[in-house]
């Protein structure tokens, strides 16, 4: 009993010793490091699986509640908006109270919200539970990379990021398959019920194993959090609305509201040592270039992900089940290449790896846009695999650069920006597909792939431009100095 208590409630001296080692880039000691990694992987699987299976369940949920599709889509949109709007505030909260605290809190909230989803008696209750789930998922996604940075030694960070990317790709691949299998034998409620034991297991493993981190002892700025959430939320809904026939005046009003919110946020946080909108990190050239590259590359990816099902099903005549199989080579290629790219990022410049990967993505998207309507399955598969391999070669090195270019005490902000860049690019890509298909019909699907190829070429150029950046004596980009009050 004493050993168990010491495991879950270690003495302060022991916690401090481990935290100091992690902060120095040494990572956790071996047995605890593996347990922490399991907790991180389980948390990733929770967020990714839940995001994919909910999409598959939408028709079943709409029928169950006798709801129209426009209303049921908020089961997905509410979840995503909750994540987008709270990524930066939760990253700031993690800098103040520790990454471990926010991560475990996110797991607990996600698990409790899953219970609410299972017992929801109306579409409104289910949507509310999904929004709370999104808040919990944001707690995981905002600091996933930063807590990984404290878990593994600095020299192993690239490989760890690659393995994380592999887990995400596998979960995204099997999610729809798992959802389809569950729905074939039981009701949609069980799609959310499987989160409960998985969440509890993650808490039990993560509580004693996840690392302590540097704390910035300052008060959480709720006004800045509201301005940040409003700025991102209005920007994303405006981008989405432009592609979905939102009246021009309303989309413009939302964009103006977003600009106003961010302007007020910048004014409020001027001179702050660790601002919620991390302008201090965006002043680091390699960080800002990596963020921009991430936004552009995810725009290219979503241009393909959203348009390909229409092209494969409505133009080429494949059934929905076959379309799912034809899409699989892309994430599977990411799962294979991303861990390799993560290891290579320690030996070769990430700017070159990213540039080569994005060039391969551009070639694959161009090949997809030019394929004939009667292309054979193998002819589609190699193009998909080329896109996935290219994206996998880019993603892990780029994420490593974003994370390592930030000082250790700003890892939470860097991780939050990583997630924000990804979601912004995805939203822009989906909106562009809707816009093209609204203007050109099914022909817009091929045009979206061609446009995606252009975005990938642009991202490749941005990635390669990082080679020209000057570095300081230790080979790492210049970074802001920590405030004197930073402590463990």
Total number of domains in the chain: 3
**Residue 482 included in any domain:** no
**Residue 28 included in any domain:** yes
Specify whether 130 is located in the same domain as 193: yes
Specify whether 154 is located in the same domain as 294: no
Residue 373: its pLDDT value, please? Answer: 86
Rounded CA-CA distance 288/284 in Å is 6
Specify whether 465 is located in the same domain as 317: yes
**Beta-carbon contacts of residue 21 (< 8 Å; ≥ 6 apart):** 27, 28, 29
Specify whether 40 is located in the same domain as 106: yes
Q: What is the DSSP letter of 349?
A: -
Angle between helices 74-97 and 411-440 (to 10 degrees): 160
**Residue 204 included in any domain:** yes
Specify whether 199 is located in the same domain as 108: yes
Specify whether 256 is located in the same domain as 119: no
Q: What is the DSSP letter of 468?
A: G
**Residue 485 included in any domain:** no
Specify whether 151 is located in the same domain as 290: no
Specify whether 242 is located in the same domain as 217: no
Specify whether 251 is located in the same domain as 384: no
Tell which of 189, 204, 221 closes a domain: 221
Task: Split the chain (488 residues) into runs of 10 and give each run's mean pLDDT.
Answer: 47 56 65 89 85 73 76 77 88 86 94 93 90 91 85 82 82 76 82 91 92 78 89 82 73 89 88 80 89 93 85 80 81 90 86 94 94 88 94 91 83 84 83 80 86 95 84 42 50
Residue 123: its pLDDT value, please? Answer: 87
Angle at 182 between CA 193 and CA 305, to 5 degrees: 100
Specify whether 187 is located in the same domain as 334: no
Which pTM does this prediction carry? Answer: 0.81
Specify whether 254 is located in the same domain as 370: no
Residue 131's domain spans which residues?
1-221
104, 203 in Cβ contact below 8 A?
yes
Q: What is the CATH number of the domain that holds 13?
A: 1.20.1250.20
Angle at 228 between CA 285 and CA 71, to 5 degrees: 120
**Residue 486 included in any domain:** no
**Residue 487 included in any domain:** no
**Residue 481 included in any domain:** no
**Residue 163 included in any domain:** yes
Residue 2: its pLDDT value, please? Answer: 46
Structure tokens at 40: 């991180």
Residue 160: its pLDDT value, please? Answer: 82
Tell which of 212, 245, 268 closes a domain: 268
Specify whether 70 is located in the same domain as 206: yes
Nearest to 113 by CA among 89, 68, 144, 79: 79
């Amino acid at each position: 009993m004493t050993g168990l208590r010491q495991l879950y409630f270690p003495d302060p001296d022991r916690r401090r010793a481990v935290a100091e080692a992690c902060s120095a880039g040494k990572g956790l000691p071996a047995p605890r490091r593996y347990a922490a990694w399991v907790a991180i992987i389980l948390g990733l699987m929770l967020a990714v699986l839940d995001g994919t299976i909910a999409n598959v369940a939408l028709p079943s949920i709409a029928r169950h509640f006798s709801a129209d599709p426009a209303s049921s889509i908020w089961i997905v949109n509410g979840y995503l908006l909750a994540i987008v709007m709270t990524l930066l505030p939760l990253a700031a909260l993690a800098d103040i109270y520790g990454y471990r605290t926010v991560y475990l809190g996110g797991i607990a909230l996600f698990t409790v919200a899953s219970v609410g989803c299972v017992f929801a008696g109306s579409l409104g209750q289910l949507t509310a539970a999904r929004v709370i789930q999104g808040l919990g998922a944001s707690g995981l996604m905002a600091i996933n990379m930063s807590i990984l940075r404290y878990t593994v030694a600095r020299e192993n960070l690239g490989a760890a990021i690659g393995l994380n990317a592999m887990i995400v790709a596998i979960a995204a691949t099997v999610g729809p398959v798992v959802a389809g299998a569950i729905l074939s034998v039981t009701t949609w409620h069980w799609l959310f019920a499987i989160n409960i034991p998985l969440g509890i297991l993650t808490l039990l493993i993560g509580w004693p194993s996840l690392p302590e981190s540097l704390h910035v002892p300052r008060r959480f700025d709720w006004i800045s959090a509201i301005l940040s959430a409003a700025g991102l939320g209005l920007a994303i809904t405006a981008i989405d609305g432009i592609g979905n026939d939102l009246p021009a005046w309303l989309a413009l009003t939302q964009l103006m509201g977003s600009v106003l919110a961010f302007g007020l946020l910048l004014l409020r946080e001027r001179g702050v040592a660790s601002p919620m909108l991390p302008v201090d990190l965006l002043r680091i050239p390699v960080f800002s270039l990596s963020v921009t590259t991430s936004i552009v590359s995810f725009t290219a990816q979503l241009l393909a992900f959203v348009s390909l099902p229409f092209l494969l099903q409505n133009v080429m005549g494949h059934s929905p089940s076959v379309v799912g199989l034809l899409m699989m080579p892309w994430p599977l290629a990411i799962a294979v290449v991303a861990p390799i790219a993560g290891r290579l990022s320690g030996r070769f410049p990430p700017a070159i790896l990213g540039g080569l990967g994005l060039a391969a993505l551009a070639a694959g998207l161009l090949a997809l846009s030019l394929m004939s309507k009667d292309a054979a399955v193998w002819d589609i598969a190699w193009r998909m695999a080329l896109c996935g391999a290219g994206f996998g070669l880019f993603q892990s090195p780029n994420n490593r650069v974003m994370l390592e270019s930030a000082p250790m005490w700003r890892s939470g902000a860097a991780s939050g920006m990583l997630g924000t860049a990804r979601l912004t690019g995805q939203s822009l890509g989906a909106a562009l597909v809707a816009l093209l298909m609204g203007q050109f019909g099914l022909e817009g699907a091929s045009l979206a792939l061609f446009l995606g190829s252009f975005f990938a070429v642009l991202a490749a150029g941005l990635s390669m431009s990082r080679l020209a950046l000057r570095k300081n004596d230790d080979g790492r980009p210049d970074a802001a100095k920590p405030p004197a009050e930073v402590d463990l």
